[in-house]
A and B are shown apart, each in its own frame.
Chain A
Amino acid sequence: MDNKLLEVSGLTMRFGGLLAVNNVALEVNEQEIISVIGPNGAGKTTVFNCLTGFYKPTAGQVIYRGEPVQQLPGHVISRKGMVRTFQHVRLFKDMTVVENLLVAQHRHLNTNFLSGLFKTKSFKKAEAEGIERAANWLERIGLAEFANRQAGNLAYGQQRRLEIARCMMTQPSLLMLDEPAAGLNPAETDELDELIVELRDQHKISILLIEHDMKLVMGISDRIYVVNQGCPLANGTPKEIQSNPDVIKAYLGEF
């Protein structure tokens, strides 16, 4: 199949005696919004950590664009186009907003030592283009006026948006968001909703989402995966999931 972006099968992660992720399978196609939901401690973030190379999965396969990536280090996976945000915002807090976006473009800038030393034309051009790209994104997420402010001084919702913009600077094809709506107020959540859909429709990327906000998840997801205690429980369209008895049971804690 041509439009298959990510295929995960049999993903298992064991910490000592704890089986945190057990035999999880996932599939993400091009230009799709996929959500992973599940109760707290279900192992969702661990799945993310395995996919993005922060953990080496105990078993299983992660195929990205037809290529196994499960043993690669994090930065290599990220360069291939799988980029993530974090549950707790991880901005470079002492750097300015625009610098945060420039760091993310490191690979696209001119890092030649000598041309930087002598401020050659190509160096200046590359820097200017980098700033231009950053400015466009800041405009989009409404942070243009804060460009020179310290990232750590932004409001929480702004930091969340900046983190997404920072990921977009690496020009990914799969963006993985770990609870992007956590701590946002309803208005900000709506904006986020809009932004995610826009990323799919205009920037032609896929989004893999971990989220607890059911309104957001049900509203924008093309498909949903449910995990419970490390095991896959169900998957399907939002409609199917909402009516799945197993899911309801897991969420309400009935046995």
Chain B
Amino acid sequence: MSKSSFIDALIASVVMLILTSWLLGLQLDNQPDGLRIILNDAAHTTWVIVGVILVFFTQLFKAPISRVFSGIKSKGQDSGFKLPAPEEKPTLYRFLTIAALAGLLIWPFVASRGAVDLATLTLIYVMLGLGLNVVVGLAGLLDLGYVGFYAVGAYTYGILNTYFGVGFWTALPIAGCLAALFGFLLGFPVLRLRGDYLAIVTLGFGEIIRIMLNNMTDLTGGPNGISQIDKPTLFGLEFNRRPSSDEATLFHDFFGIDYSSTYKVIFVYLAAVLLVVLTVFVINRLLRMPIGRAWEALREDEIACRSLGLNPTIIKLSAFTIGAAFAGFAGSFFAARQGFISPESFTFIESAIILAIVVLGGMGSQIGVILAAIIMTILPEMAREFNEYRMLMFGLMMVFMMIWRPQGLLPMTRPKMEMRNG
């Protein structure tokens, strides 16, 4: 601890004080006689003091701390924990898959109704995370407007259902295809752009979709959204108490059991499980197909790819379109689960949350992304107080993950093509 580090620490603390004291300690308040400054509650002031002290000491002991951290980091990079590729440990993964599937199928029959409903929401985020992972993690394209495709999916089902009475299972592929079409149409011109421009353009696209949904009131209901969207049916069997039309058959009538709204929740959950399993399967296959290799190659060296005759735009476009399609599926699921959609649900924050899931789990790692999606959806539900600070935490987490562990919490070895000798 030298004199210079003491001065550094002092400067850092003063800066911290400038940054936070006025924002946390005071508050602007619109009073009848004009704008007034009032003192914030004492808790906020405590935070300022804690923050300043923290900054002071981390700066003061910066050298030893960074030595410890660099120790962790360098160790982490050498023998860093990385999930093996399924090809390396086939039995482990077979066991994991079976255990996960069994758990997913038992869950609705042991958990409460609310827990099952939450699990459905989690599965929607898993789908979104996996879909965005294709775009960001595998193809290396930062898409900040992913929520736009999610919205397209949700509104496709919402509109088809309200205006034309189309059922969920018919609307699902349409929603996926339409979102993919949007992805294709947006991607075709913009994927020639460099990475950071792409991020901004997609961000703008997401905003445009939201603004359009808000203003095309005749079709989308504007800010009020669309409500009373039908739930999925099981081969035409409805899960309502009363049939929606004369021809409709009800689930509980058909099986001769009493009506319970739990059946509906469980059914939606199981449908989501089915869709997530399909998603995982498709992405796993994609990774082992030529297109998956091309994504990886393109991420590593675009110039070399071009020199070998690979069309970068087409390869990026395939990732972009596939990612968009998954968002479309997830969107129509979201509409079916909520029964109500409005532009509120499709803000940039939603894109940021999905991105945070991908970043936290580890770009390119499916298991990581699934776990991250579970953590990210369940945490806010577990602790309501946490909800208030959720976005603050997400933001902070994204910064620190990029600094200390850009590969994510659970990075996974890419499945590699092996050549058997002889």
Residues of A in contact with B (beta carbons under 8 Å apart): 52-54, 73-75, 78-79, 83-84, 86, 90-96, 98-99, 102-104, 106-107, 109-111, 113, 116-117, 119, 123, 131, 134-135, 144-145, 147-148, 166-167, 169-170
The size class of the interface chain B forms with chain A is 20 to 34
B419 touches A117 (CB 8 A): no
> Could you say which residues of chain A place their CB within 8 Å of the CB of B285?
116-117, 119
In the complex the two chains form, is A148's CB within 8 Å of B418's CB? yes
Closest chain B CB from A75 CB (angstroms): 5
- What are 29 A-B residue pairs whose CB atoms fall within 8 Å in the complex? A54-B307, A75-B305, A75-B307, A75-B311, A78-B306, A83-B309, A86-B304, A86-B307, A90-B303, A90-B304, A92-B301, A94-B296, A95-B300, A96-B417, A98-B417, A98-B419, A102-B290, A103-B293, A103-B308, A103-B310, A106-B290, A106-B293, A106-B294, A106-B308, A106-B309, A107-B310, A116-B289, A131-B417, A131-B419
Is B312 interfacial (CB 8 A cutoff)? yes
**Cβ–Cβ contact B296 & A92, under 8 A:** yes
- What is the CA–CA distance of A178 and B310 in the complex, to the nearest angstrom? 20
B415 to chain A, nearest CB (A): 10
Within 8 A of A (CB), among B379-422: 414, 416-419, 421
Contacts of A104 in B (CB 8 A): 308-309
* Residues on B with beta carbons closer than 8 Å to the beta carbon of A166: 308
User: Inside 8 A of A116's CB, which chain B residues have their CB?
Assistant: 285-286, 288-291
- Inside 8 A of A119's CB, which chain B residues have their CB? 285
Closest beta carbon of chain B to A251's beta carbon, Å: 30
Closest Cβ of chain B: how far from A80's Cβ, in Å?
9
Residues of B within 8 A of A107 (CB): 309-310
B300→A78 contact, CB < 8 A: no
**Which residue of chain A lies nearest to B308 when distances are taken between CB atoms in the complex?**
A104
Which residues on the B side are within 8 Å of A86 (C-beta)? 303-304, 307
Check B309–A96 contact: CB distance below 8 A: no
Whether the Cβ atoms of A148 and B306 lie closer than 8 Å is no
Asked if B297 is at the interface of the complex by the 8 Å CB criterion, the answer is: yes
Inter-chain CA distance A86–B288, complex, in Å, is 28
Which residues of chain B from 270 to 319 have a CB within 8 Å of any chain A CB? 282, 285-286, 288-291, 293-294, 296-297, 300-301, 303-312
Please state if A110 and B290 are interface contacts (CB–CB under 8 Å). Answer: yes
List the A side residues contacting B308 at CB < 8 Å: 75, 78, 83, 103-104, 106, 166-167, 169-170
CB pair A92 B297 closer than 8 Å: yes
Q: Tell me the complex Cα distance, A107–B300, Å.
A: 19
Q: Which of A93, A102, A147 contacts B300 (CB 8 A)?
A: A93
A231–B309 alpha-carbon span in the complex (Å):
30
Residues of A near B288 (CB, < 8 A) are 116
Complexed CA–CA distance, A170 and B270 (Å): 46
Do A94 and B300 touch (CB < 8 A)?
yes
Q: Bound complex: CA of A103 vs CA of B289, how far in Å?
A: 10
- A residues less than 8 Å from B286 (CB atoms): 116-117
Residues of B with C-beta under 8 A to A98: 417-419
**A96-B310 CB under 8 A given contacts A103-B294, A111-B290, A116-B290:** no
User: Known interface pairs A94-B300, A117-B282. Does A79 touch B293 (Cβ–Cβ under 8 Å)?
Assistant: no
Residues in A whose Cβ lies below 8 Å from that of B309: 75, 78-79, 83, 104, 106-107, 170
CB of A75 within 8 A of CB of B312, answer yes
**Which A residues touch B282, using CB under 8 A?**
117
How distant is the Cα of A98 from the Cα of B285 in the complex, in angstroms? Answer: 19
Per the bound structure, the CA–CA distance linking A169 and B309 in Å amounts to 11
CB distance from A48 to the nearest CB of B (A): 10
Q: Are B290 and A90 in contact (CB under 8 A)?
A: no
Across chains A and B, which 5 residue pairs bring their CB atoms closest together, nearest first?
A116-B289, A78-B309, A90-B304, A74-B306, A147-B419
Provide the residues of chain A in CB contact with B290, threshold 8 Å.
Answer: 102-103, 106, 109-111, 116
A167 — nearest CB in chain B belongs to which residue?
B308
CA distance A125 to B344 in the complex (A): 50
Of A75, A95, A110, A113, the contact of B310 (CB 8 Å cutoff): A75
